[in-house]
Amino acid sequence: MHVLFLLLSFISAFLLFQVQPLISKFILPWFGGSPAVWTTCMLFFQVVLFVGYAYAHAVVKLAPRVQKWLHTGLVLLSLIFLPIAPGDFWKPSGLEEPSIRILLLLLGTVGLPYFILSSTSPLTQVWFCRRFQDRSPWRLYALSNVGSLVALLTYPVLIEPYFDVVLQTWVWSFGFILFAVISILLAKRGSLPAEPTAITATQQIDKSEQIPVPWWQRLLWILLPMMASVLLLASTNHVCQDIAVIPFMWVIPLSLYLLTFIISFEFENYYVRPLFSLLAIGVIGTTALEKVIANLPSWSWDPTPNYLYDLAWSFGAMFLGALLCHAELARLKPRRSGLTVFYLCLSAGGALGGLLVSQLAPRIFVTYLEWPLALICGFVVAVVALGVSIWKTCARTIRLLLCSAVAGLGVFSVAFLAESTLKVDHRLERTRNFYGAVNVDEDYDTGLESTYRTLTHGGIIHGMQNIADAHREEPVTYYGPTTGIGQSLAALSEKQDAHVAIVGMGAGTVACYARPGQRWRFYEINPEIPRLARKHFTYLADAEKRGAKIETILGDARLMLDREEHQQFDLLLLDAFSGDSIPVHLLTQEAFEIYRRHMKPNGIIVVHITNTYLALAPVVLKQAQIMKWKTARVITEEDGDHDATDYICMTQNQAFIQKVMVDEPAHQEPGNVPLWTDKRYDLFRILMLK
């Protein structure tokens, strides 16, 4: 029986956390590769975890035999959802609210299995207390956290690189069947009391443990995990905006988050409150103020010289903040009689944190303000923990003085952090939705002696225009005449009936090349982008004045193209950025088959691969090799208001390839990158660690 309890705790937690990156990766291409896909999935998982804990809290009050049959029935019912691979009918049409669609999809595919897994940890611990009254149930909780951590760490290393997502769902489903067998066996034997005279769980617990839990303690059971959850999701959003929306970037913070649970509940003696409080104050404060520190006059230290440092500081701040929350939570944990209530409050806090970040923040903030707010909250927890440690360890004569000093410095520091990090700079317009935060700004460039208007998504410029009348129709940033797209569109300048497709509108800069009679079709997933491009930039309107026909198709480009009749494009430009990376579902073999179906025999597919963190060239070249299309790579350097660019042109038009000025990359890129498909791709292999 003891072995069964241990095995079930580990397997249920492993499956619980393995399914999170698995199913999120499965549906990520359907919703444009936005970071909000992951935070919405996390909201679902946290809410269902709360429902599972509520079920466990209610069911342990029933007679043991009722518990056995009820839980066995639900476990058997959950098997009808296997395998958990979502069918194509769950794919969005492109016009509905994405978050609602994601929540319904998850409910219809993994809802009941995840609910059963969620209820397992508190149920098994209550049953364990019933069978083994002389043993602590917290060892099972620590083991379940180890299972969760193993699941997360093995996914990007052993599962994602070697198994496609469909096979992953089948392997997970077989694991769930094993879980179901053990669950039914344990429900049959473990739910029964050790002594036949005892009937309910509460009757099994010693009268000395029936101590009422004060309201403030229950409130902390909710608030502390809520703050840890906000730190987790806000840090994930922060790093995914400018790097890549990939399971690897989800797994790191979630693994660190779980590690804080293991340390807090299994190795409580390792938590030295004053030491970790001071460390958290230093790391969280530096993370929040890294831009302020880097811009200080005569200051030679930049905390984040590259994105790896940014990752380290962000995840370090999240880890220490979550550790403080969970360690303080562990010191408030109840005796056996309050197990299910404790888990219910803990899961409620996690769900509230997910709700705040994934649903509330995009509706009330125009920037990712939840990240600095989360850091400030973590800083406050650290200051309070430091004050408590001083109050409990110092002599009575000096603790009041020291605590007053800590409180004063804490208030001053929090005020300074708020002033430095919560200030939202004025822009012509700011907006935020499911697909991210976008703003339009106007500045005078003293070096170029011109006024420019820019469209920015996160930290990445998605379009710029010189607003002077004499220059407003000139292509700038990534779209100059010598770039890959500039040379490709120049080849169509005399073709009056040219049909051009642009995946990703931005400010519409590329429309500078539109000529009278040509048809230009923009595909854009974010409905705010066409509105901003029309309101604050003139590229599209100027193209129409020249006689070009401009169409805008709202929705994910791949889904839209897959449903359309053959468009017979002369040129198709892939320029759909998410943060600083192209959504991966636009670079798979299945995606390029869709593109090829819409191209004329000598049509040109141009892929914009300019990227700070990902070496996308090997991926695109592999697709061209499979299609047996010729390629030309065009790399340009920064020059005035033209940014450095990297494009790959794909076509069967040999004459065009011979005219293009071809370049070679300055740095060696990853080799032997496998063919990307919808079922299998590995962004970690092309991540540039520099």
Position 660 pLDDT exceeds 90: no
Position 602 pLDDT exceeds 60: yes
Q: Give the span between the Cα atoms of 687 and 612, in whole angstroms.
A: 9
Could you tell me the CATH number of the domain that includes residue 514?
3.40.50.150
Judgement on whether residues 158 and 250 belong to the same structural domain of the protein = no
Write out pLDDT tens, residues 483-495.
999 999 999 988 9
Distances in whole angstroms, Cα of residue 555 to Cα of each of 234, 576, 630: 26, 12, 30
Take residue 234 and report the two structure tokens written for it. 């806000």
Judgement on whether residues 583 and 504 belong to the same structural domain of the protein = yes
Last-in-domain residue among 154, 183, 204? 204
pLDDT > 70: percent of the chain: 92
Position 646 pLDDT exceeds 70: yes
Residue range 541-549: mean pLDDT, rounded? 96
How high does pLDDT run on average in the chain?
86
Q: Give the span between the Cα atoms of 523 and 582, in whole angstroms.
A: 14
Query: What percentage of the chain's residues is helix, strand, coil (to nearest 5)?
Result: 60, 10, 30
Tell whether 443 is covered by a domain: no
Q: What are phi and psi of 488, to 5 degrees?
A: -70, -45
Judgement on whether residues 132 and 258 belong to the same structural domain of the protein = no
Position 198 pLDDT exceeds 60: no
Q: What is the pLDDT of residue 199?
A: 40
Q: What is the pLDDT of residue 193?
A: 56
Say whether the peptide bond before residue 83 is cis (omega within 30 degrees of 0).
yes
Distances in whole angstroms, Cα of residue 649 to Cα of each of 80, 91, 574, 659: 47, 30, 10, 12
Q: What is the pLDDT of residue 131?
A: 77
Look at residues 309, 616, 239, 311 and name the one whose alpha carbon lies nearest to residue 458. Answer: 239
In contact, 621 and 650? CB cutoff 8 Å: no
In contact, 224 and 348? CB cutoff 8 Å: no
Q: Give the span between the Cα atoms of 256 and 149, in whole angstroms.
A: 8
Judgement on whether residues 617 and 500 belong to the same structural domain of the protein = yes
Which DSSP string do the residues of 535-594 spell out, in sequence order?
Answer: HH--HHHHHHHTT-EEEEEES-HHHHHHHSPP--EEEEEE---BTTB--GGGSSHHHHHH
pLDDT > 90: percent of the chain: 45
Quick one: pLDDT band at residue 127, thresholds 50, 70, 90? confident
In contact, 214 and 345? CB cutoff 8 Å: no
Q: Give the span between the Cα atoms of 150 and 248, in whole angstroms.
A: 14
Judgement on whether residues 238 and 362 belong to the same structural domain of the protein = yes
Judgement on whether residues 91 and 130 belong to the same structural domain of the protein = yes
Judgement on whether residues 259 and 359 belong to the same structural domain of the protein = yes
Position 196 pLDDT exceeds 60: no
Q: What is the pLDDT of residue 577?
A: 65
Higher pLDDT, 266 or 462: 462
Judgement on whether residues 366 and 231 belong to the same structural domain of the protein = yes
Tell whether 361 is covered by a domain: yes
Residue range 546-566: mean pLDDT, rounded? 92
Mean pLDDT is highest, among 154-163, 178-187, 540-549, 668-677, for 540-549
Quick one: pLDDT band at residue 62, thresholds 50, 70, 90? confident
Judgement on whether residues 559 and 652 belong to the same structural domain of the protein = yes
This prediction has a pTM of 0.80
Mean pLDDT is highest, among 28-42, 624-638, 660-674, for 624-638
Q: Give the span between the Cα atoms of 21 and 596, in whole angstroms.
A: 31
Residue range 666-681: mean pLDDT, rounded? 82
Tell whether the torsion through CA atoms of 516, 519, 525 and 528 is positive or negative. Answer: positive
Residue range 208-218: mean pLDDT, rounded? 72
Which of 121-130, 433-442, 466-475, 650-659 shows the lowest mean pLDDT across its residues?
Answer: 121-130
Position 203 pLDDT exceeds 50: no
Instruction: Give the count of beta carbons closer than 10 Å to the beta carbon of residue 456.
Output: 18
Secondary structure of residue 600 in the 3-state scheme: strand
Position 197 pLDDT exceeds 70: no
Domain, as residue range, for 288: 212-336+349-424
Q: Domain count of the chain? A: 3
Look at residues 442, 447, 561 and name the one whose alpha carbon lies nearest to residue 507. Answer: 442
Quick one: pLDDT band at residue 299, thresholds 50, 70, 90? low
Last-in-domain residue among 182, 204, 226? 204
Tell whether 293 is covered by a domain: yes
Higher pLDDT, 129 or 578: 129
* Count of all residues that appear for the chain in the document: 690
CA dihedral 589, 592, 598, 602 (to 10 degrees): -120
Write out pLDDT tens, residues 409-452.
989 999 999 988 888 888 899 998 888 889 999 998 877 778 99
Last-in-domain residue among 204, 229, 264? 204
Tell whether 470 is covered by a domain: no
Residues 417-447 as b/e (b if ≥16 CB within 10 A, e otherwise) read: beeebeeeeebeebbbbbbbbbbbbeeeeee
In contact, 489 and 476? CB cutoff 8 Å: no
Judgement on whether residues 22 and 148 belong to the same structural domain of the protein = yes
Higher pLDDT, 446 or 496: 496
Distances in whole angstroms, Cα of residue 627 to Cα of each of 488, 595, 622, 673: 20, 11, 9, 16
Higher pLDDT, 209 or 51: 51
Q: What is the pLDDT of residue 57?
A: 86
